[in-house]
Amino acid sequence: MNVLVVLGHPRTDSFGSALAEAYCEGAREAGAEVRELVVADLEFDPDVRADSPENQEMEPDLIDAQRRLRWADHLAFVYPNWWGTMPARLKGFLDRVLTPGFAFSFEGEGPGHDSLLSGRTAELISTMDMPPWVYRFIYRQPGNDAMKRATLGFVGVRTTRVTNLGPVRESDPSDRQEWLAEATRLGESLESGPEPRSVRARRRLKSWLSALRLQFYPMSLLAYGLGALAAAGTDAFSALAIWLGLAFVFFLEATTVLANEYADYETDSENAYAGPFTGGSRVLVEGDLGFGEVRRGALLTGSLAAVAGVEALAVGAGSTLATATAMAVLAVLALGYTLPPLSLSYRTLGELDVAVTHSIGVLLVGFLLAGGVSSDPLPWLLGLPFLLSVLPSITLAGVPDRDADRAAGKQTIAVRFGIDGAAAVAAGTALAAAGAGVIWILRGVPGYGPLVALSIPHGLAIAWAVRGLYRRPEPRRIDRLMALTLSYLVWFAVVPLYSLLRVA
């Protein structure tokens, strides 16, 4: 491992200098090749005087510093905390050395940037004149966050560890010896990798949670609960079957999400407008997880879904044949969104597939497991407005992804009919869902009361909001519009669910 230790104190006779030396000693003991960069010894103008840092002539010391940063696998910044953040000398160094073209670039497509120092790690060792807990919990560590996220994170360097030492002003020689020993241990710990095992475990957990995209699960779980409650009045109702069916739905959703992550890598890697609701989780694109890991994860969750489904069928209250058929069709349609041979998202059927599986499909499984009969029209009546309310969000999700989907051969509604066509579908289905809700209120469908009528202004708001897509019919992030359409499900999922729960 190549380790660059950057001493950011404006003096070379500081306690920070001793800490940097102790860290270097430990890192060398761990087998790392270590170089030092003392900012106080560099000759450079810390102020950016040109219109942009790359247009200002680079001093030889800064050119050499860039070579060292490019050489390093791991960076250790040692500096004092002054006024909540780093000294001006270190800030000026970063302003001048992390230039466009070297550390980042805005030349790619989309509103974001390319991080050019990705693949490197860093850690921060900061001294201060306050107790570290005060800095963290009362002042909320502004300097650490600025360095970790806004600076190093921006250029692609992942901070693996932050160590705050203090208060230095009130310390005695034994305190300082203990801190020096800690700096040595930090360097020695590089023998097992650039980040502690606990940090590595948390990062892996975060990557898997990102891959699972849990923000989308409430849609299908609400539909399942709605179906189960609609049949909860039957004498054959089985709570165990309901819980096992819920596990089946959850693990099937997880399998579908992971399969989509795997199959959509080509379009996700080209997507310049990915957001929390579009463009995948990015764990494969950014290398947080490998293809083999995602494939094995999908196989594991698929196996768990199969086991939960079989167990639910064994204790379910409804017809085993009808329930098994509904489960099988649901699984085929869910996985067929991207996976061959169906590959429905490549045939302009993906949006309808998601709407069906996350509304009527899941709702029917819950209804049958709870003892309902397949000839009963109730699950279909409950599922139709739900289906229509899902379509606006899933259709608009194709807007930021349009160019990437087109390049990958996907035929989403936004690709086939244009962004204005997707806007028209979203507006039309939102208003159709509200209309169906009003009709169901008038017809006395269980779960539909006066509160569902609030879907009318919400649907009108969606129709009004998508006007912007006609004015600017090009891919871009639409996070607020996605939030507006996803929350539309409240009127056709949460409100009927609550009404049925009160009756039950």
447-482 confidence digits (pLDDT tens): 999 999 999 999 999 999 999 898 888 888 899 999
Note every long-range contact of 321-328, with CB atoms under 8 Å and residues 24 or more positions apart, other chains counting. 322/368, 322/373, 322/374, 323/365, 323/368, 323/369, 326/361, 326/364, 326/365, 326/368, 326/374, 327/248, 327/365
In 234-324 the beta strands, taken as DSSP E runs, fall at none
| C-alpha radius of gyration, the chain, whole number | 28
pLDDT for 473 equals 85
pLDDT for 462 equals 97
Q: Give me the helices (H) in 72-168, please.
A: 88-97, 132-133, 142-145, 154-155
468 CB-near residues (< 8 Å, 6+ apart): 481
304-320 confidence digits (pLDDT tens): 999 999 999 999 888 99
pLDDT for 108 equals 60
Rounded Cα–Cα distance for residues 447 and 434 (Å): 15
Rounded Cα–Cα distance for residues 484 and 469 (Å): 14
In this predicted structure, the answer to whether residue 159 has a pLDDT above a threshold of 60 is yes
180-236 confidence digits (pLDDT tens): 999 999 999 999 888 888 888 988 999 999 999 999 999 999 999 999 999 876 555
H or E element at residue 467: helix 467-471
Closest CA to 109 of 270, 278, 284, 286: 270
In this predicted structure, the answer to whether residue 111 has a pLDDT above a threshold of 60 is no
362-418 confidence digits (pLDDT tens): 999 999 999 899 899 999 999 999 999 999 999 999 999 999 999 999 999 999 999
pLDDT for 197 equals 84
> What one-character-per-residue DSSP string does 198-228 give?
HHHHHHHHHHHHHHHTGGGHHHHHHHHHHHH
Which tokens go with 407?
A: 């390049």
CB 418 within 8 A of CB 405: no
CB hemisphere CA count around 394 (13 angstroms): 25
Reported confidence tier of residue 237, pLDDT bands at 50, 70, 90 = low
More confident residue, 274 or 19: 19
Average pLDDT over the chain, rounded to an integer: 93
Reported confidence tier of residue 276, pLDDT bands at 50, 70, 90 = confident
Peptide bond into 392 cis (omega under 30): no
Residue with tokens 């705050």: 164
What is the β-pairing status of strands 114-115 and 121-127? Answer: unpaired
CB 336 within 8 A of CB 261: no
Q: Give me the helices (H) in 336-398, please.
A: 350-356, 362-369, 378-396
Rounded Cα–Cα distance for residues 11 and 14 (Å): 6
Question: Phi and psi at residue 339, in whole multiples of 5°?
Answer: -80, 145
CB 399 within 8 A of CB 469: yes
pLDDT for 178 equals 97
402 CB-near residues (< 8 Å, 6+ apart): 412, 414, 415, 419, 475
416-426 confidence digits (pLDDT tens): 999 999 999 99
User: 3-state class of 164 per DSSP?
Assistant: strand
Q: Give me the helices (H) in 14-162, please.
A: 15-29, 60-71, 88-97, 132-133, 142-145, 154-155
Residue 81 is classified by DSSP as -
